[in-house]
Amino acid sequence: MATQQVLFAETIAGMKKAFKRKAYESDSDSEIEKYGNRGQKLKRKARLSHRGQLVPADGIGSYNESVEYAGVRRSIIHRNLPLVDEEGYEIDSDDDEARIEEALAAAMELNPYANINLDNILAPLTASTDLPTHPTLSKPFTSQKLTDLAFQSSMMLRRENHSLWRVRHLWTSLCGDYTWAPCQMMLGPNDSDLFTDDHVAQHLLNLSKPKGQGNSGVSTPATVTAQARNDDAEATTNSVDQSREIVPLQRTPTKRPMCP
């Protein structure tokens, strides 16, 4: 009889504990490591894993209860499990500290939010000097996430620009154009005249003239260049004509030998 009483007592204690805690979908030893329910529906605490997004803009269905904490009314996701001992009885604050710690350790195994300390997260900022060490308010200033995201975006843009540069050269080659050409190919037939002494002198002369004075009597750079070309052409023609003059040759008579 004593053995049966012990078994009944253990069964009743287990049923009390089961009623006081929320059931989980699986008894698997592997826990959830990342957010999302893909491939995790049979793991422990899978009920707390939601699909797709973290928190929608209009809130999620888990925010079904509001409590007042630190003078502010807030919506909560989950209430902490009641502290119960091995026999299933609730633990009061007047109980032994060792018993309370043991109950807390047992409750932390089933509480997914046991490692969250609201007192530190929601603590107000009392002084500006505490900002670098505040557990939550200091993260926007000390975190390197934005810097890393900006660096990754910069590297992505550089890779895209490099790819576009290579594709542009390929497209230019396919169109039949040159991807690189020497400067000599860009010179026209009359571009060299712009760097002659006559052109520079004429340009300086035009700049030295007062405004409003006409160009009558003064040759333009184009006129100077054309006149120089005409002079060169006349000189070339005269030299050719002189070379065409026939100079008579003076032949000396030769005596033929007499036949014997």
pLDDT at residue 32, rounded to an integer? 47
| Half-sphere exposure in the Cβ direction for 68 (13 Å, CA) | 1
Q: Say how many CA atoms lie within 13 Å of 201 toward its Cβ.
A: 7
pTM, whole model, 2 decimals?
0.31
Percent of the chain with pLDDT over 70: 60
Task: Count other C-beta atoms under 10 Å from residue 202's C-beta.
Answer: 19
* d(C-alpha 58, C-alpha 55), whole Å: 8
For residues 90 and 16, the answer to whether their CB atoms sit within 8 Å is no
Which residue did the predictor score with more confidence, 220 or 129? 129
CA distance 24 to 22: 7
Highest mean pLDDT pick, 38-42, 67-71, 240-244: 67-71
Mean pLDDT of 103-113: 76
C-alpha span between 35 and 60 (Å, rounded): 15
- Is the model more confident about 163 or about 23? 163
